[in-house]
């Protein structure tokens, strides 16, 4: 899920065969990027996995940051991840 631009972050969802089973969401992120000669380029060549969501319970109970996500989490909760 996400924009069609390959440079933008995406969310990959995995569904099991059981339609009643939980969905696993992998949140992929490839950096905050920068404006280099008018073109936005990501900081990371390969996307990082900063967060995962697993389960059917409320978002706050099923979303967790990975070690990579905790490392990159900004000081200011209102800003995006830091590269």
Could you state, in order of their start, the residue ranges of all structural domains in the chain? Answer: 10-72
pTM (predicted TM-score): 0.69
Mean pLDDT of 50-74: 89
Cα distance between residue 78 and residue 32, in whole Å = 14
Q: What pLDDT shows up at residue 83? A: 46
Mean pLDDT of 34-57: 76
pLDDT exceeds 60 at position 37: no
pLDDT exceeds 70 at position 79: no
Report strand pairing: 34-36 vs 23-29: unpaired
Q: Is the Cα torsion angle 14, 3, 27, 22 positive or negative in sign? A: negative
């Amino acid at each position: 899920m996400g924009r069609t631009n390959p440079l933008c972050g995406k969310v990959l969802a995995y569904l099991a065969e059981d339609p009643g089973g939980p969905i696993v969401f992998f949140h992929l992120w490839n950096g905050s990027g920068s404006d280099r000669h008018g073109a936005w380029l990501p900081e990371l060549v390969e996307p990082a996995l900063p967060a995962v969501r697993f389960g059917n319970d409320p978002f706050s109970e099923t979303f967790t940051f990975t070690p990579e996500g905790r490392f990159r989490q900004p000081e200011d909760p209102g800003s995006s991840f830091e590269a």
